[in-house]
Amino acid sequence: QKEVEQDPGPLSVPEGAIVSLNCTYSNSAFQYFMWYRQYSRKGPELLMYTYSSGNKEDGRFTAQVDKSSKYISLFIRDSQPSDSATYLCAMSAGDSSYKLIFGSGTRLLVRP
Amino acid sequence: GAGVSQTPSNKVTEKGKYVELRCDPISGHTALYWYRQSLGQGPEFLIYFQGTGAADDSGLPNDRFFAVRPEGSVSTLKIQRTERGDSAVYLCASSRGQGNGELFFGEGSRLTVL
């Protein structure tokens, strides 16, 4: 079993929909939680960063971390075709915070 | 520079050959990382540099892989005796300090071993 599990999708939604992306993990030492967006043939781009539990909002994006359930989520409001990409969750432990453990990514398609 | 720069963007080589992949990090970033991404998977950690030294090379798969960062800026990932299983996208990232996950990635070097 992988340390970080993520549904690969693809997830197809109409423009304007609310998108929910999720990851589960097994390592209780994880303290830093990130969401990266990756367009085809590009490098990952950091979208959201959260330390420990709680919510964080940035524009149309909201990240949630529930450490008690070992579950993290990314919500995208008013989704746009330009949001079509692969979304990677990533996390790391406090003693090796540079060593990110990534999920396999969820491919999102927002239809015009 | 404005972002992390990686060269070459694509490299096709034959099994058994030697390959070098170069990374030029964001100016002022002291930390540099190499990750490897296989098709349909998330990136996997290879090595982390803080300045000139490799602070953690535990992700390098075997002794055919080696990386250097002699002046604390540009880094080179070296792969000897390439195998077909080495085919992947090699991603370089940099950050201020240790980064704590706030990494800035380059576009990657796509390596194909025939």
Amino acid letter, residue B13: T
- A-facing residues of B in 27-66 (CB < 8 A) are 31, 33, 35, 40-45, 48, 55-56, 59
H helical segments located in B29-98: none
User: Angle at CA B61, nearest 5°, toward B59 and B62?
Assistant: 125
Q: Which of the residues B29, B37, B49 would you substitute to probe the A interface, choosing the one with the greatest number of A C-beta atoms within 10 Å?
A: B37
User: Going by C-beta distance under 8 Å and a sequence separation of 6 or more, which residues neighbour residue B36?
Assistant: B43, B44, B46, B88, B89, B90, B91
Which pLDDT score, from 0 to 100, does residue B34 have? 98
Q: Tell me if B33 and A98 make a contact (CB, 8 A cut-off).
A: yes
pLDDT, mean of residues B49-71:
94
- Which of B44, B101, B107 is closest, CB to CB, to A42? B107
Cα-based distances in Å from B78 to A19, B19, B60, B111: 40, 6, 11, 12
From the list B22, B47, B31, the residue with the least C-alpha distance to B107 is B22
Residues in A 57-96 with any Cβ partner in B closer than 8 A: 88, 90-92, 96
CB of A10 within 8 Å of a chain B CB? The answer is no
Mark yes or no for CB contact A88/B42 under 8 Å.
yes
Instruction: Give the pair of three-digit tokens for residue A40.
Output: 């085809």
Angstrom distance (rounded) from CA A22 to CA A45: 18
Q: What is the pLDDT of residue A9?
A: 87
Q: Give per-residue pLDDT as tens, B26-53.
A: 998 999 999 999 999 999 999 999 989 8
Kindly determine whether residue B101 and residue A99, on different chains, have CB atoms separated by under 8 Å: no
Q: Measured between beta carbons, which residues in chain B are less than 8 angstroms from residue A91?
A: 101
Structure-model confidence comparison of residues B53 and B12, the more confident one: B12
What does pLDDT average to in each consecutive run of 10 residues of chain A (112 residues)? 90 97 95 95 94 91 95 97 97 87 96 96
